[in-house]
Amino acid sequence: MTASILDGIVLGLQFGVLAAGLTLVYGLGGVLNLAYGQIAVVSGLVTLLTMEAGVPAVPAALIGLVAGGALGLIFDLTILQPVYRRHGEARVLLSLLLTLGAAFVIDGYLNWRYPLRGLNLRITGDPLVVFGVRMRMGSVVASGITIVVIGVLYWLFRYTRLGRAIRSVIQDEEGSRLVGIDPQLMMRLILVLSGVLAAIVAITRSMVAPVNVRAGFSLTVLGLIVTVVGGLGSIPGAFLAGLVLGIINSVASSYIGTFLSLIILLVAAAITIVIRPTGLLGVRE
């Protein structure tokens, strides 16, 4: 039981980071990015190709992060520009359709140019004993990185001027404009940050299991479900939902079997949405 809960936490932390990238973009700009998983995949692929070019793993992973951020920036500068000119649900829907198109473009290209490739960062080392359970080194390192990321996000949004500026845009776009914050610029920064988070997911995930070129869509869907369960726009909600769903998933899979566990995860998500349409920590507008 302890083992599967710990596995669930490892998985849940990654779910949380995955969802945080989506939920930030939604909370700030009312934009749903369906090409989010593809950003993760591209970052993973860039890391892989850089490593194949002879660069050591750590700098290669950093280049992967830069690639993720750059892709986020490209999205902001291109297909999201017409999206920003709309408001409310029309904006969400247009962003959803356009980023779906972008996801096809990336998927089509990757499947054509790099079929069956995948990033697999093997972390060697003896298993570490945590609470009497032997954890694989890859899981421990991945979780360590994820926890640091969560800490940095917390610090960024709680204590820095930039974080406060972003939170004020989430709360009231018009009001923040009045006090001299440029929502457009904040949105651009958040898209870069979201791209970097997607890259972090790809890299940490590849320490536990390979992330292949076809994983984009399922990463997006998983992120979307965790985001909605946590409450659209809420970062703490994203992490809470990530942990809850991660633990449900791995406990269910060790006791019931893999295929039913995914269904249990999905049903749990559906029940949460139906009972609390605003999500676990979401605020009703």
Partner 1 sequence: MSGRAVAAGTSLVAGAETRVSRSLPRLFGSIAAVGAVLAAVPLWVGDSRVRMGVAILGLAFACYAIGFNLIFGSTGQLFLCVGALAGVGGYGTALLADRVGVPVVAALVLAALGAALVGGLLSWVAVRRSLGVIFAGIITLIFALSFENLVLGASTITGGDSGIQVSAGSGTFLRERTTAYYVMLGLVLLCLVVHGLLRRSRVGWAFRALRDDEVAAELAGVDVARYRVYAALVGSAMLGLAGGTYALIAGRVSPTTYGFAQVDVVVIVMLAFGGIGTLVGPVLGATVFTILDELLIELGQLRLLAYGVLIIVLFLWIRRGLIPTLAELVRRKPGSPPGTAPDGEPG
| Residues within the interface to partner 1 (CB under 8 A) | 32, 79, 82, 86, 88-90, 92-94, 96-98, 100-109, 111-112, 115, 217, 221, 224-225, 228, 232, 257-260, 262-263, 266-267, 269-270, 273-274, 277, 284-285
* CB of 138 or CB of 237, closer to partner 1: 237
Give Cβ neighbours of residue 283 (< 8 Å, ≥ 6 apart).
231, 233, 234
* CB of 105 or CB of 148, closer to partner 1: 105
* CB of 165 or CB of 224, closer to partner 1: 224
* CB of 89 or CB of 126, closer to partner 1: 89
Question: Shortest approach of partner 1 to residue 241 CB, angstroms?
Answer: 13
Nearest CA among 198, 188, 278, 276 for reference residue 233: 278
Contact 278, 284 (CB under 8 A): yes
Question: Shortest approach of partner 1 to residue 140 CB, angstroms?
Answer: 30
Question: Shortest approach of partner 1 to residue 50 CB, angstroms?
Answer: 23
Question: Shortest approach of partner 1 to residue 200 CB, angstroms?
Answer: 24
Question: Shortest approach of partner 1 to residue 21 CB, angstroms?
Answer: 17
* Separation of alpha carbons 130 and 123, rounded Å: 17
* CB of 114 or CB of 157, closer to partner 1: 114
Handedness of CA 51, 215, 21, 250 (dihedral sign): negative
Q: Interior CA angle at 24 toward 268 and 271, to 5°?
A: 15
* Separation of alpha carbons 203 and 47, rounded Å: 8
* Separation of alpha carbons 196 and 156, rounded Å: 14
Cα–Cα distances in angstroms (integers) from residue 198 to residues 15, 69, 187, 219, 230, in the given order:
11, 9, 16, 9, 18
Q: Interior CA angle at 48 toward 46 and 49, to 5°?
A: 65
Question: Shortest approach of partner 1 to residue 132 CB, angstroms?
Answer: 32
* CB of 86 or CB of 177, closer to partner 1: 86
